[in-house]
Amino acid sequence: MRTKISLLSVVTLLFGVLLTSCTKSSVVVSVPPLVIGQPITAGTPLSGSVKGTMLSGQTYTMTGNITVNQGDTLLMQPGVHLKVGRGLTILVKGVFISLGTKDQPNWIGPDKTFTKTDQVGASIASDSAYCGYWTGINCEPSCTLLDLKFTHVEYTGASFSANFFPSGKAAGDGSFGIYFQNLNGDFIFEDSWMYGCIDDAIRLSAGRFEVMRNTFEKCGFTGGDGANVKSGSVGDMAYNLCIGGATNMTKAAMPTSSNVQTNVNMYNNTYINCGYRQSDPTGRGGSINYESGARGEVYNNLIVNCRVGLRIHNNPAADVLHMSYGYNYSYGDSLSVCDMFYPVPPTTSVTVPQSTDIPTPTATIFPASLYSAAYLYTLDASGNCPNMVTPYNGSSFVQKGNPLFVSFPLPEQGIQHLSDISAVGSFNFRLQANSPAIGKGTTDPTLIAPIAAVHVTNPKLKATITMPGADMGCYQNDGSGNQH
Amino acid sequence: MKLRSFFKTLILLSFISLFATSYVNASNIKGYVLDSKSKEPLIGAVVFDKQDNQINDLAGLDGSFNIKKLKSGRHILVIRYIGYESQEKEIRVSANHPVANVTVLMEPNSVALAQVDVVAEQNKESSEYAMHKEKSAENVENILSAKSIQLSPDITVANILSRMSGVTVQRTANSGEGQYAIIRGMDKRYNYTLVDGIKIPSPDDKNRYVPMDIFPAELISNLEVIKTLTPDMEGDAIGGAMNLVLKDAPPSFLLTADVAGGYNQLFLDRPFYQFNHQAVNLKSPAEMYGANYPAKVSDFTIDNLKFKPVNPLPNFMGGFTIGDRLFNKRLGVILAVSNQNSYSGSNDFFATPRAKPNENNMPGFEYMTQQTYSTQNDRLGIHNKNDFFIDKNNRIVLYNAYFQLNKYISRHSLETALGTGVGNVITKDRSQTQLESIYNSTLQGKHTLSNQLSFDWSAVYSKAWASNPDDVELQYNSTIINSPTLQGMTHKWSHNADQDISGYLNVYWNPTIAGQEIKTQAGGMYRHKTRDNYYNAYQLTPQLINNEPQAFTTIDSAKFAFVGYNANLGSPVNQNDYQVTENVAAYYGEAKLNLWKKLDVLAGVRVEQTNLHYKTPMPISFVGSSGSQVYMDILPSLHLRYTLADNQNLRLSYYSSISRPGYFEVVPYLISGEYFDEEGNAYLKRSKAQNVDFRYELFPHPSEQILAGLFYKRITDPIEYSLVQDLGPSSLQMKPQNFGTATNYGFELVILKYFKNFGISANYTLTKSSITTYKASYHRDNSGQLITDSIRVTRPMQGQADNIGNLSLLYKNLRLGLNMQLSFVYTGKYISQVSGYYGLDYWSMPYTTMDFSFEQSVSKKINLKIFGKARNLLNSVAITRIFRPNSYLTGNFQLPEQNSPNSVVVQKETYQPSYLVGIRYSF
């Protein structure tokens, strides 16, 4: 018996020794080598980590991907041309500022010259606008400010190469023109031009922003939006001229979640011929779109010959209880356009025709039983809007209320499809003095006012917000609004 | 329906025959034929009256016989059984004592096997051996024998596992076949798989667990589910370990062969959609021409997108086993080959809720989906074992096993948008070629140095591969008013390989100290694992035709392009292309002793040192492009067995174990998902568990058992997926994480009872587990903003069903040479998929299957049998629900298949019964 007990104690002792012996454990995760941003000098090709000022009137060429490190700033003075090599990326972990002016705009685009094929009816398949030459300006979640004023951003949309891509993307993924993803960061895109891209021209996965007085041409190849902001994005999209976009040109959504609700005010934008390259036959919208819990105010927009008008999506539904809109001006050459002023299946929506809209949605065409907010905004127990806008007879709207652009004859001339015109070219979308769109908008601040979410206060850097204007669309008769 | 009533009749008949055999005649002799040592029944032993051999019986499942209608007087019974000395017994039967009871203990016939004493092992393939091993094992385990497996309705190991106590098997959606085992409510990640005691690598591209459907049932000699670990076993199982014991070389020449054919009822109702898998390009353009090769549209085949509706060929199953002992029985050789080629599929309904719910976490749906799967499974298993006795004390074993499962899966999917009538429809056609294989080669030596000292060693090479060449999907959309428009086409290639080189050494020393024999054992193991993955995906965009989106008519006329610079490189660098090396060094010591005759104690400790390195091809600017995890675990265990009586044991086991994270989970990848980004976790820790088991065992009769047990597990750092906001508060990522402490406890009951021709095998497991994790909640804050925040939610662990049960009714008539089995498996509801959001977990609903099998001897002269297996006779429907109020019962957003206001049916899968009939020949 004794031996048994002593045996047991030996075993117990063995246990003890082993249990008390050291347990070492370690986790190693590789970290990027420290690279100090190098000051840039004119005439020296840009590559790697850079910071500093690009001087007025100079041309700089990127021969490799560039990174603006966290804590560093890269600034373009007025009149700078930044040429980007094929497939390259501007990666912003710190701050990137481009201070073009009306007289001295800045250019960020390919290091080679493409011939623009902006003539009416040019083949899209061979259009250089969709060559996807470089991968755009990509901001990491650490980027606190991306500020572009009077800056041309052209020919983006390449796929990311093997060894350089931002967070949230992988090698081989397609790129956006501008990608911003800091909920607590500021993104300012003012008086600038976005020409040619494959997917979205601007994608915010989160952030405070102003997208104001810009021109968007040929954005998206067979999909993609102009300015597409997602969960936790707050700001304004106003006075933008949008022409020939693949899908929507201004879009607000909240497909994932955030502790800030997506809230976007869209006013005084002009939309021409948008939504016709979208390959999904449901259209998914063709001008303005709110969905999946996003909220906002939509006023004074001029929507001409777009595939789909203002779309308040029913599923996933926008935050319909907090949507307000009206004073939007629609024009259509054909019945198929006019039938979609208020989107009907296959493009589903719960857009309520507003009495302030032009042309006036009469109760004869839109009986309250089917087109009132009370009906369309009915939420079921799961928070869906099951009552969507049903087809109506838009024949009385066809070619009514020509907004009389300075130089863009309506009905549109020399085209086979509305997708045949997708750039400004020699057209002029200012309103003639006798345009029926003049003075029809609202400036009532209780209806529409900018959100002005951006925090930047430095007078040279801050956003310049144009208040809502009474003339429909992006050009005001008093010369304010879009300056292009 | 007809079938059902047929089987009802069958059950009834079985009961009647049972009743008939129990009927007591005026003068008869009843008794049992048992092995003299093990007291196990010798099923099929012949008992006859020496004077009249027409008066006879065969020992039944419980070893019992009953010789009826005997005249009063003296009778001499002759008892014969192969491998045993025949016996004669004299018995008197009189009118006063009409029933005589007798137990015959048979002595093994040792002459035939005298050459090598080790050969005189028991027949390891018998159920009795299985039970004997369960009874005598130090730890808690359940064992299913080859005979039971052969008789069962199953043809893969995965499905057999579902019949074992405490095991739930996850089905694949594409065929309804079982695939992964959940043991005692512990998800597949907490279990491991052994082949002949050696851990094998997995062909899974990211994880450690092995798909159990790769193993054909026929090659298995015994299937063990080991629920408590002893120190000599690898320590990374919290649920348990599955050990596939492959067939040993036979004591003398053996040849068996079988061939069977069958059909799945699914394809009587609809065609099987077949694609030409010969046309699949095994390598991606980048693999063929270099990583920087700009792919052309013409580099891709579209033949694997052409689906031909066919009536599939009958399912085929065939195999043979050949073995012998040569050179004075010194060398034993066995070769077994099994091949199965089957056609299965499913018709599925899905209503997949959006990943982000509507306000207040209510499920929102955009589409409802009808899917049809057509799956061809081609399964091959080859097993070869050679053992050589150098002398009495030295034995060398070499065994090789190769398993291969090739799946050719075509899927046709129609997604209809809600609320638009049948208008907006997304059509997706997909074909997949999935090639998986596992190879294992083990050289083993067993050496006895003295009565007290012996050792064994193993040198192991094993490798697992998987390859998914050209996983292709085509999408086209149509609406109420538009004809189909081409959306795009994706071609993906991925493959991975996992290679182990391992060595094992065990030393046994059994000293006798103070008259007490102590069995001590110590040893170690080292495994060097290398694993690498490849992934590349190409997205092709439809061309615009006449400045308009392209209409879709046929795949042949569809025109694609790569849009944007670099798009034609596919996904040249990807975190999926990771490489892992993992070295595990382990050593242990244990001692076994018997105290006070009644108490067996096994105590010991195991130490495992893990050293894992990973490398991705990501640029060095990427945090975690490479990294490592190094850790050591000390895993003590103690197993007590107390013998209450000859036929009763009490067991108490404690062991400590771990579960390592999946290989890919610790790589800090970030991949865009459809709704969430998916993120790895370099700091993910292994889960650690303290496990306690208590079991009472009663063996009322050698062939009967009642096992009742309790288990309790406390798991520190369990791994579950949950949403995090790692890239700032704006974004949500799905990420594997450690979540505090989880508990899992339950009760198990196993009952096995044989009557003469009839048997019942049943088991039941009650499991309760709980884990607390963070979940996202989407709702309005006080200011009316729609926001998402986190709340803590306690729920059962993924895969844990509260109630699982099995019932098998066996009928064996030795005179007729007939075996029949009717089996039921019940799996209670469990969480099959954890949602990142509150309330939106997927619950797999209770599922009952009924299967039937039989085996009938054709002739007594030649050993030829007909067998049949019928599976899923109830055509059970697998239903998955979300337990949130259901507003989709009526109205514009009505979903089909709904029947409850309190839950939403989100998946419904039907597989239909399948049938197999074959012949088996043994030499």
- Sign of the C-alpha dihedral computed for residues A370, A371, A374 and A380 taken in this order: positive
> Which positions in chain B touch A322 (Cβ < 8 Å)?
784
Q: Tell me what the mean pLDDT of segment A16-36 comes to.
A: 71
What length does chain B have? 923
**Cα–Cα distance between B818 and B758 in angstroms, integer?**
12
Strand A241-243 versus strand A270-272 pairing type: parallel
Q: How many CB atoms lie within 10 A of CB B292?
A: 11
Per-residue pLDDT, B135: 67
**Best CA proximity match to A418, nearest among A333, A483, A355:** A333
CB contact, 8 Å: B422 with chain A?
no
Cα atoms in the Cβ-side hemisphere of radius 13 Å centred on B745 = 7
- Coil, helix or strand for B19? helix
The per-residue pLDDT for range A242-275, each reduced to its tens digit, is: 999 999 999 999 987 778 999 999 999 999 999 9
Q: Closest chain B residue to A160 measured between Cα atoms?
A: B566
Cβ neighbours of residue A1 closer than 8 Å, sequence gap 6 or more: none
Q: Closest chain A residue to B559 measured between Cα atoms?
A: A125
Q: Do B675 and A255 touch (CB under 8 A)?
A: yes
Per-residue pLDDT, A302: 98
The per-residue pLDDT for range A199-255, each reduced to its tens digit, is: 999 999 999 999 999 999 999 999 999 999 998 899 999 999 999 999 999 999 998
**Cα–Cα distance between B550 and A280 in angstroms, integer?**
10
- Dihedral angle computed from the Cα positions of residues B18, B20, B24 and B27, in that order, rounded to the nearest 10 degrees: -120
Q: Which domains does chain B have, with CATH numbers?
A: 26-109 (2.60.40.1120), 117-258 (2.170.130.10), 259-922 (2.40.170.20)
Q: Which of B475, B786, B895 is the best residue to mutate to test the A interface, defined by the most A CB atoms within 10 Å of its own CB?
A: B786
CB contact, 8 Å: B290 with chain A?
no
Q: Closest chain B residue to A5 measured between Cα atoms?
A: B595
Chain A and chain B share a number of CB contacts under 8 A equal to 325
**Best CA proximity match to B493, nearest among B556, B432, B562:** B432
Of A160, A292, A387, the CB nearest to B892: A387
Of B291, B591, B730, the CB nearest to A183: B730
**Cα–Cα distance between B540 and B246 in angstroms, integer?**
47
Per-residue pLDDT, B115: 33
Of B419, B633, B731, the CB nearest to A256: B731
Of B359, B569, B892, the CB nearest to A172: B569
> Which positions in chain A touch B415 (Cβ < 8 Å)?
none
Distance from CA of B561 to the nearest CA of A (A): 10
**Cα–Cα distance between B823 and B203 in angstroms, integer?**
31
**Cα–Cα distance between A257 and B776 in angstroms, integer?**
9
Of B358, B362, B789, the CB nearest to A259: B789
CB contact, 8 Å: A5 with chain B?
no
CB contact, 8 Å: A386 with chain B?
yes
Q: Which of A118, A256, A263 is the best residue to mutate to test the B interface, defined by the most B CB atoms within 10 Å of its own CB?
A: A256
Answer whether A192's CB lies under 8 Å from A153's CB. Answer: yes
CB contact, 8 Å: B631 with chain A?
yes
Distance from CA of A88 to the nearest CA of B (A): 10
Could you state, in chain order, the average pLDDT of each consecutive group of 10 residues for chain B (923 residues)? 46 42 55 76 81 80 79 82 81 72 75 34 57 67 78 86 86 82 90 92 90 90 90 93 89 89 92 94 94 93 95 92 88 93 92 87 92 94 92 91 95 89 84 95 94 94 95 92 90 94 95 87 96 92 92 95 92 82 96 88 95 88 88 95 89 95 86 69 93 92 85 94 65 81 93 86 92 89 90 90 91 86 92 88 93 87 88 93 94 92 94 91 82
Q: Do A11 and B419 touch (CB under 8 A)?
A: no
Of B516, B547, B731, the CB nearest to A123: B547
Give the tokens for residue B52. 């009249």
The confidence band for A190, taking pLDDT boundaries of 50, 70 and 90, is very high
- Whether cis (ω within 30° of 0) applies to the bond prior to A411 is yes
**Cα–Cα distance between A291 and A46 in angstroms, integer?**
41
Per-residue pLDDT, B798: 87
Q: Closest chain B residue to A380 measured between Cα atoms?
A: B887
**Cα–Cα distance between B210 and B212 in angstroms, integer?**
6
Q: Do B548 and A417 touch (CB under 8 A)?
A: yes
Q: Which of B422, B548, B559, B565 is the best residue to mutate to test the A interface, defined by the most A CB atoms within 10 Å of its own CB?
A: B565
Answer whether B719's CB lies under 8 Å from B659's CB. Answer: yes
> Which positions in chain B touch A162 (Cβ < 8 Å)?
291, 569, 572-573, 617
Per-residue pLDDT, B170: 85
- Give how far the C-alpha of residue A112 lies from the chain's centroid of Cα atoms, to the nearest Å: 26
The per-residue pLDDT for range A286-296, each reduced to its tens digit, is: 999 999 999 99
**Cα–Cα distance between A252 and A228 in angstroms, integer?**
6
> Which positions in chain B touch A206 (Cβ < 8 Å)?
728-731
> Which positions in chain A touch B786 (Cβ < 8 Å)?
254, 261, 293, 295, 319
As a 3-state breakdown, chain A gives helix, strand, coil percent values, each rounded to 5, of: 10, 30, 60
Helix or strand run (H / E) with residue B733? strand B733-738
Q: Do B728 and A134 touch (CB under 8 A)?
A: no
Answer whether B119's CB lies under 8 Å from B392's CB. Answer: no
What length does chain A have? 484
CB contact, 8 Å: B900 with chain A?
no
Per-residue pLDDT, B124: 57
Distance from CA of A297 to the nearest CA of B (A): 15
Residue A176 scores a pLDDT above 50? yes
Residue recorded with tokens 């902006």: A118
Task: Calculate ∠ Cα B510-B516-B521, nearest 5°.
Answer: 25
Give the tokens for residue A272. 């021409």
Per-residue pLDDT, B131: 63
CB contact, 8 Å: A275 with chain B?
no
**Cα–Cα distance between B219 and B223 in angstroms, integer?**
10
Q: Closest chain A residue to B682 measured between Cα atoms?
A: A29
Strand A405-407 versus strand A428-431 pairing type: antiparallel
The confidence band for A312, taking pLDDT boundaries of 50, 70 and 90, is very high
Query: CA gyration radius for chain B?
Result: 30
**Best CA proximity match to A243, nearest among A227, A225, A265, A219:** A219
Strand A270-272 versus strand A302-304 pairing type: parallel
Q: How many CB atoms lie within 10 A of CB B478?
A: 19
> Which positions in chain B touch A198 (Cβ < 8 Å)?
563-564
Cβ neighbours of residue B647 closer than 8 Å, sequence gap 6 or more: B698, B699, B700
Q: Tell me what the mean pLDDT of segment A408-433 comes to.
A: 95
Helix spans in B23-109 (H): none
Cβ neighbours of residue A2 closer than 8 Å, sequence gap 6 or more: none
Q: Closest chain A residue to B520 measured between Cα atoms?
A: A11
